[in-house]
Amino acid sequence: MADLIANFENKRNLYMIFDCAYTKYAVNIDNVIEVMKLPALEYPQKMPNNAIGLLKYENLMINIFDIRCYFDIDVQPYNVSTKLIILKTDESIFGIVAEDIDDIVEINQEFIQKLPLSDEKNLVDSLYKLDSNSINLLNAYTMEDLLKNKVNEKKYDVKNFFPIDKYSLQKFRERAEYLKEKSESTNLQNIFAKEKFLSFTLNNSNYIMNLNYVKEIAKNKHISEIPCSADFVEGLIAVRGKFYTVINLKSFLGLKKQDYVDKKNIIIINSDECQLGFIVDEIFEIFELTEEEVFNDHFLNAAPFIFNEIVKDGKIYTILDMPDILNSDKMVIDDEKPVF
């Protein structure tokens, strides 16, 4: 995908952190295909005991399960905000339920503590210390084995996990129907040959950037002002001993200067040349796009710092041209001093 894709030589240990039963878990981004809101599931008679349902996804019928069932934790009823993480391994595609997506971080191997595997159900193979929190690292390949071997034989009345009010049922059905319609036009071979993108909003409009440019998500950080800085520079934040210049992305892109919902969502940019963070209103989902989807002729090169537009799930997403942004003359001010 030309310069739009960041070809970083060093493989990163980028993990997505999510909440489940008041506990933080993380899974390697390499195993994540997509994050979406939970749709309605199907319940055939021969459904595996260790699955909470089946979902038609990308021309496949995939298993969905809830890790709380394996830890013998009570499953609280789902709602319209419950998330579904679609995972892939070398051979399988399946989904796990999450209460919320918390963060994306690059994990330092030095702070990973391996755990002894006590039995074949052990989904957590290590712990990671992040600030004051301990993160349970999940192994997607262990989860794959559990699905194949049907380790969990406890039966659940999984239909009771879903709400029964009219509004919620309609939302779940609409999401499932959309996935079915999308599956009919999917080339299965493309599932393992896509690039991941992170979606977020600015002024109620949807934007995406390639996940290769995301180092992590910083939340609730104090921003220190920088005197005599460019009008699109909000200030500095400190994240684990490193300082990042925070960019007001609305001002930088020339958008209408609406106040942010709050300034808690900052995307730290993965770059060897600069230490930057972008404030955004809300951070939503992760999904994958093929080269053909990215390089459609809908909006190509029509505006500064904008690469293209795509339509996904009935919404318009603007693709940021990250190389153009990072190499922009706007990032250099007096006496060729960079803003970062």
For residues 280-293, average pLDDT: 83
Domain final residue pick, 134, 165, 192: 192
Are 162 and 46 found together in one domain?
Answer: yes
Strand-strand pairing, 282-289 and 124-130? unpaired
φ, ψ of residue 199 in degrees (nearest 5): -100, 145
Are 233 and 259 found together in one domain?
Answer: yes
Q: What percent of the chain has pLDDT over 90?
A: 21
For residue 6, tell me if it sits in a domain: no
pLDDT tens digit sequence for 313-325? 778 899 999 988 8
Least confident piece of the model among 19-28, 103-112, 154-163, 318-327: 154-163
Name which of 319, 286, 285, 312 is nearest 30 in CA terms.
Answer: 286
Q: Which CATH number fits the domain that encloses residue 161?
A: 2.40.50.180
Rounded to an integer, what distance in angstroms lies between the CA atom of residue 21 and that of residue 78?
A: 12
Are 23 and 112 found together in one domain?
Answer: yes
Are 48 and 116 found together in one domain?
Answer: yes
Predicted confidence at residue 179, as pLDDT, reads 84
For residues 70-90, average pLDDT: 88
Rounded to an integer, what distance in angstroms lies between the CA atom of residue 286 and that of residue 86?
A: 10
For residue 42, tell me if it sits in a domain: yes
Average pLDDT, the chain: 81
For residue 154, tell me if it sits in a domain: yes
Stronger pLDDT, 119 or 50, i.e. the higher one: 50
Rounded to an integer, what distance in angstroms lies between the CA atom of residue 337 and that of residue 129?
A: 36
Predicted confidence at residue 81, as pLDDT, reads 92
Name which of 327, 322, 328 is nearest 308 in CA terms.
Answer: 322
Predicted confidence at residue 242, as pLDDT, reads 86
Q: How far is CA 64 from the centre of its chain?
A: 18
Q: What angle do CA 289, 328, 240 make, to 5 degrees?
A: 75
Least confident piece of the model among 107-111, 251-255, 273-277: 107-111
Residue 4 has pLDDT above 80, yes or no: no
For residue 62, tell me if it sits in a domain: yes
Predicted confidence at residue 3, as pLDDT, reads 52
Are 25 and 156 found together in one domain?
Answer: yes
Sequence-ordered list of residues with C-beta below 8 angstroms from that of 116, at least 6 positions apart, any chain: none
Predicted confidence at residue 338, as pLDDT, reads 62
Neighbouring CB atoms inside 10 A of 103's CB total 19
Q: How many domains does the chain have?
A: 2
Stronger pLDDT, 197 or 285, i.e. the higher one: 197
Range of the structural domain that residue 203 is part of: 195-338
For residue 310, tell me if it sits in a domain: yes
Is residue 339 classed exposed, middle or buried when 0-12, 13-18 and 19+ CB atoms within 10 A define those classes? middle
Rounded to an integer, what distance in angstroms lies between the CA atom of residue 323 and that of residue 340?
A: 15
Are 207 and 122 found together in one domain?
Answer: no
Neighbouring CB atoms inside 10 A of 234's CB total 23
Are 84 and 203 found together in one domain?
Answer: no
Are 19 and 138 found together in one domain?
Answer: yes
Rounded to an integer, what distance in angstroms lies between the CA atom of residue 79 and that of residue 128?
A: 29
Domain final residue pick, 130, 163, 192: 192
Give 330's pLDDT tier (boundaries 50, 70, 90): confident
Domain final residue pick, 170, 192, 214: 192
For residue 3, tell me if it sits in a domain: no
Are 168 and 241 found together in one domain?
Answer: no
For residues 17-25, average pLDDT: 89
Q: How far is CA 214 from the centre of its chain?
A: 10
Are 118 and 152 found together in one domain?
Answer: yes
Rounded to an integer, what distance in angstroms lies between the CA atom of residue 38 and that of residue 227?
A: 46
Partners of residue 18 on adjacent β-strands: 25, 101
For residue 305, tell me if it sits in a domain: yes
pLDDT tens digit sequence for 116-168? 755 445 678 788 887 777 889 988 888 888 777 765 555 667 778 889 999 99
Are 306 and 165 found together in one domain?
Answer: no
For residues 238-253, average pLDDT: 88
Name which of 278, 279, 281, 284 is nearest 261 in CA terms.
Answer: 281
Sequence-ordered list of residues with C-beta below 8 angstroms from that of 124, at least 6 positions apart, any chain: 25, 115, 136, 137, 138, 139
Give 9's pLDDT tier (boundaries 50, 70, 90): very low
Neighbouring CB atoms inside 10 A of 260's CB total 17
Are 147 and 225 found together in one domain?
Answer: no
For residues 161-185, average pLDDT: 85
DSSP structure class, residue 179: H
Predicted confidence at residue 173, as pLDDT, reads 92
